[in-house]
Structure formats: structure tokens, C-alpha cells
Structure 1
Amino acid sequence: GTHVAQICLFLLTENGFFPASLLQSSPPRRAREAEREPGDEIERRGDYAIIDLDLARYERIARRFDAEREERTGFLKAGIATHDAGFNALIDRIERVAEASRAPILLSGETGVGKTQLARRIHALKAERGQSSKTFVEVNCATLRGDQAMSTLFGHERGAFTGATAKRRGLLQNAHGGVLFLDEIGELGLDEQAMLLTAIEDKRFVPLGGERPIESDFQLIAGTNRDLNVSVREGRFREDLLARLCLWHFRLPSLRERLADLEPNLDFELERFARQTGRRVVFASDARLAFVRFATSSGARWSHNFRDLGAAVVRMATLAPGGRIRRVEVDDEIARLRATWGDDEPSSSTLRGLLGDAVDELDLFDRVQLEAVVEVCRASDSLSDAGRRLFDKSLARRTSKNDADRLRKYLARFGLEWSVLRAED
């Protein structure tokens, strides 16, 4: 039975209303379909236990429920032992919502933060608990255009438009009883948004070119890397649809915001490489230290988040001789990543030309400030001219007017000299 039913039976029996003992049975422990490997045997023997109504032992039941919840949240995290407290709390909330609600869920975040994988695992969790069928339908809305968008989502009747020679079922109809995941929902046109809102609220819709409504009861999970509030203000997204989606809105943080979880995810990517290729690869200790130092530095942009990390691991592991990633593979990969991200951050390229790898050791505060100072210096005729530009607001309040000396000392903190900056012009 449900947890509520179990607690009610417990209280009724414990207070003598039922002359009975409580027998707790459990099904065979088996791997979820999403975790099971081909050829794995299914354990078919269940288990049972008589619940002791001694209140001193009731805590064991509560601990079992807590353990089951931890197992479910671990599944949503793909088994990765994450350390970031904010992310762990977020996943715990998502697990509670997935268990208790069939309302739409909106997952937002940058490209590559794991929205699609999380949506699939939410569905697998609900399917295991009997809260959803095994049907999981997904589509990237950025691939849908014109009549194709309407037809793909809602289906069409024969002759609905030029080329519609046969009737077609839409994805919403296919998702009946299960979960529909619409990634990049902000790319949908306004007409499709209006029909989707009707389908969510009324659980029915009319196919393109049709007259009779089709019923479909599904749970919607939507993903976006946009700020949909901005899209609403720009007239590109319906405010009423956003209000419906935002009942449960979870923003997934970027890899840059979860640097405490970089090493567990690094190990996860190595394990995934081993499963996919049959080759187990490890880091040499100095190589791992160098990669982690770079990966957690301010110079690591991780523009595509975990996709970038996964691709980096695949490249290093593929090129590693004897299943061991050496410092040379790490150095080559760091150079590749910097080149990939370089066009997005020209000012950082300037600092790298001046400081080399030392730029990775700078705090974001110091790096941004130094970038601005270097830019002013290169646009100035002399050290004194640069000093006057940089300290112009405080000049009248200070007794010391030697701005050139103040600037010289600031640059020296980073091992820079005026002559070096001018030589770079």
C-alpha cells in the first residue's frame, strides 16, 4: 500500500482497533530498466518482515523510507555522488515533485547542463512507481517549423496541407498515459503554443485539418535554455502558457556553478567511456591534478557545460596509451579547450598572452579588473596618462597625486611592467 495507508494501519493496530500484526512485504530488488545491462538476470524472490509495534523501533520504518528516498534522488543524479549542497537540495525537491505531482515541469538552464537526461530519469522513476506508463516521447522544438510543427505535435488528417497524403498521429497522442518532453520549448511558434496550452488544460486537441478532438492524458516536461520571461515581453512566448509551465520550475546550474562536483562527474565520464568502449582508462596522478586545476579555474569557460567535459574525457581517454592519461594528453586537451573557447573571450586571450598559465590562478575579481586596466594602459600615451584615467574620480580627494607610481605598483603585483604592455601594441 501507500505510505499513508501503512501509517493508518500502523496506528489502528498499535491502538488495539485491529487484533492483528502488520506484515511488511516487498517485491524483488531489481535494477531499473534504465540501469539494467543486457543479459542481466531478474531476481524473482521477494521479502517480508513482521513490523514490531514497539514505538522505540518505529524509527527503523522511518529510516527505511529515508533510505528509499535517498536511493531515488541518487537515481535522478545518475548515481553521481555530488557534493554541491544547492544541487543536492534541488534534486531532492524534484524527486518529491515527481513522486507527488503530474503537473507540467519546466527545466531551464544552459545548453549541456543535463535537462534531457534528467527528464528521462524523472519518467523512469515515475514509471517504476506506476505513476506513468513506459511511454516517453521527446522532441527538440528547434527542429520543428511551419506545418511540420503542427503535424509533428498534433498529427494531421489526410489532405490537411500540400503533401499530406495520409493521416498521421501526433506526438501528443503517442504520449498518452506517459511523459512528453519538449526540449527548447521557447522555439515553438505562437499557434503551436496556443494548441499546446489547450491540450494541457483540457487533455484534448484537434489534429491539423481535423474536426473531432482527440483525448490524450500525458505529463509535460519542458526544457529551455532561454529566459522565457524575456520571450514573453518580446511577444515570442505566451504568458498564459508560461504561467502553466512555471507551477514547477527548476533551473539547473551550469558546471561553472558546480565546481565542487567536477571531480565526481569526471569519474562518471571515465566510467561511461569504459562501458561504451570496453576500455578502462585512469589518470596519472599529476595529470589528474593538472586537469582539475585547470577545470576549476576562472579560465575554464565550459561553454557547453557537461557536454564539453564529456567530450574532453573521450578525447583524452581515446589517445591515452596503455589506458593511462598522461600529462601530455592533459596539456593538449587544455590547449584545445582554450582554442575552442578563445573567440568567446578575447580579453582573456590578451591576459593569457601576458601572463601565460598564471591567468588560471587569478580570481574572477582580479581577472576582470586586470583586463580593464590593461585595456586602458594600451589606449594611453604614457604611464601617467593611464594613471589619470584610472584614478580620475578619487584624484581631488587624495593628498598623494602620484597615480603613475600607484599604477606601476598595481601592475607589479601581477609581474607586469608598463614597457611590456606598450611592446604588445
Structure 2
Amino acid sequence: MKKSIFNISQSIENGILLYNTFTTSLVELSEELYKTIFVKDDFSLPEVSSLYNMGFLVDDTHDEIKAMENIRCDVVKNSSEKIANIIIAPTLECNAHCFYCFENGYRKGRMTQETADALVAFLEEHWNGKKLGITWFGGEPLLASDIIDYISKKLTEKKIVYGCKITTNGSLFDKDIVKKAINLWHVEKVQITIDAVGDEYNRIKNYDKQYKDVFSLVMQNIQNALLQGINLKIRINFDPNKQNKALEIMNYLLERFDNSTHLKIYFAPIDADDEIVKNISNEFEEYEEHPYISLIKFGRKHHLYRGFPDMEDDTSADHEYDAHGLLKKLKIYPSPINCYATCPNVFSIAPNGDIYKCHRALGRKEYASGNVKTGIEENAAYKFFCNTRLTYEECKVCPILPICQGGCKINAQFYSGKEACAPSKAIIKDLILLYREDISK
């Protein structure tokens, strides 16, 4: 018998709190009992049987890393080859110029009707026959709203059932677009990114010169969309070194829109690791509390959400050991794969029709896996995503491996640090304490 490598322990007021990231078991032990079993490796005590059943102890012959690999392999092997969801960028052009944008240097092109026709034919061939989920992405997708019109009409003509989401900066989401979104595009949700309030927002977004006071314009567009019943998510992009700014933005939005039932707000750390923005996977020793956990606690204090706010409206089926979604909302529930792009039936489409596994790679030709006109190519780029390999060597000894399954492959390529790691990694012990608090209630 041996200790599971997926155990996470921490001191609490009456002893030791122990959590296993694979089985999701949580137990409180006296310090003496913990030391006897997990430090001195004395497995003769009667409590050992229960700890074994909960996954804190495993057989000597059990290879936990291999077990995780087998889970990932099963998911990929058993995934349908037909498409259920797809991300489409009708343009990579954008009217804003955010300094942190991962598409900087890759914004070019606008989809033609010829490519749109090829895309519809591609979907007709590869669609799984159920409701197709489309996410309109960019650039700023509303700069090509006419192409969205065209594709939407073609899909309807082909009797392809679909619903869509839009990721937009909100500057062009006016009353006419909202009307089309409802009546033609079958929009189910819209996500708008807000980085700051007032003039600071205008400075960060750095819109094209013809746009004046875009912050006020976006706020008005949001107000109108909410009045029309659009389900809207506001993503607050924040610099981890400036978490007070994120709280300021949230307070402003809640007051401005009176906590509308159609509005969800969530925080997202900016993906970078340089002198400008420190990556969220860092420890942040200069703070008394990690910036991400402080934002989560702020939300809980004000009854906005119980965990990571982007998980609050997840409507997927409850899991066997997480009937109330507590673990999932805190992002400490095990996952069978690291990312949707691992599955062979998930794609993103660039304006020129190129096929990508990951939307964050759009426009970077070296990551393309074919084109809608010529079909999917299982080339090196395709295999880079569709595999079960771990991102870092240290993943093999990381206790949160069951949660992230190796993390984000594309972030590991784009950045030099540990950006592939799950955002919960640096605050895992704090999240376990919040889970303990939740289940105690």
C-alpha cells in the first residue's frame, strides 16, 4: 500500500484536512493520526481501510499517472467524429486594439461568400444531426455581421438546427444587431469583455479613431440588450496585480444594471507573464491573499456566486459525487481531458476557411489542420492537440493532475512560464477550505 499522489493536505484548527483530487474525498484527521499513516507510512491502523476506500491510499502496484492517461485515451477514442459545436470567426479584424490580445499580429482577413458556402457544405457533411452549437468569434465578429446573416440563412435553408453565442466587445451591438441576433441568428448568449470603467476603458481598448467615448456606447448597448431579454455575460479581464480594479468594475456594473436576471459577470485573468501582467498561476507572495481567491470571496460575500463566476451558469448534468455543483463551481472536480480541442470533433474556423483545433490559434497558419474547401487534415498541428500527452514533465508528480489533465497546450506554446496550468493550482488549498465551508452548510 502507498499514499496517493493526488492527496492535498493542510493544517486546520483541529488537525489536518485531506482532499484527494481524483476521488474528491475530503476528511479531517487528527495530526497524530495523519503523521502515523501519511508520514511514518504505518498502514496497520484500523482507519487505513476507510482511507483506502476513499482513495487516499492505493495499492503498491497501482500506477495513478497511467490511470489518468487511460481516462484521457478513452475520451478521445470514444468521441464522435461528427461536429456538435464549432467556433467561427467571420473576420479577425477588430475595431479595438487591446495591448494584451493574443491575436495581435494575426488580425487579417474577412470571410467571403464563397468561403461561407464552403463552410456551410462542410457543416452539412460533418454535423452530428442534433442541435449545432455555434460561437461567433473574432477579431470583432460584428464587423462582419453580413456574413453572419448569410451563413445563418444558409443553415436554415439546409435545415441544420442551431443556436449560437457571440463573443464581442459590444461596440457594434446596437438595436439593429440585437434584433437580428434574436430573430435571425438564434442567439442564446452574448459575451462582452469589459476591462475598466470610463476613460480608462477607452484607453485600454484603444478603439479606432472614429469611435468616441466607446465606454458609454457599450454601456448603452448592454442596457438595450438586457431590456430585449438577451442573456448576457460580462467578462472582466483583470491584471492580477490590480485586483481592486476588477472589484471596482464589478461594483459599477451591478449598480448600473441593477443586477439584471439576464446578466452574468465573471472574472478572467489576462493570459500573459511579463513585466506588464503577471500570470495568475504565480504565487503572488506580495499579497496577503492571492488575487483570484480574493475575487471569489468578494462574490461569495455579496451572494453573487459560490465559486469561479464563469462556472455559475453551467447547466450540464450533475456529477455523481457533486450533486450541488459545489466542486465544479470551485474548479476542483476531476476532468477526463485537459481541453475540448483534444477531442477529434471540435474545430474553429478562420475567415479564409482554415480549420483549427483551438480558437486561440486562429490566423496562425502553422496550427491549421486543413480548410473547409479541402477537408480536415490530420497533420502535425492536428496531432499536437489530439493527443493525451502531458504538457510538462512535472505534471507527472502534480497533485492537481486529475483536475487539469495536463492543462492548456496552446498557452504552453505561446508563453514561457506555467501558463498551461489550471487557474485553481495556486489557490487549491483555499478552494478546498471554501468547499469544506460549503458542505458544512
The two structures share one fold, judged by TM-score above 0.5: no
Per the normalisation by structure 2, the TM-score is 0.27
Per the normalisation by structure 1, the TM-score is 0.28
Larger strand percent:
2
Larger helix percent:
1
Which one has more relative contact order, counting CA pairs under 8 Å at least 6 apart? 2
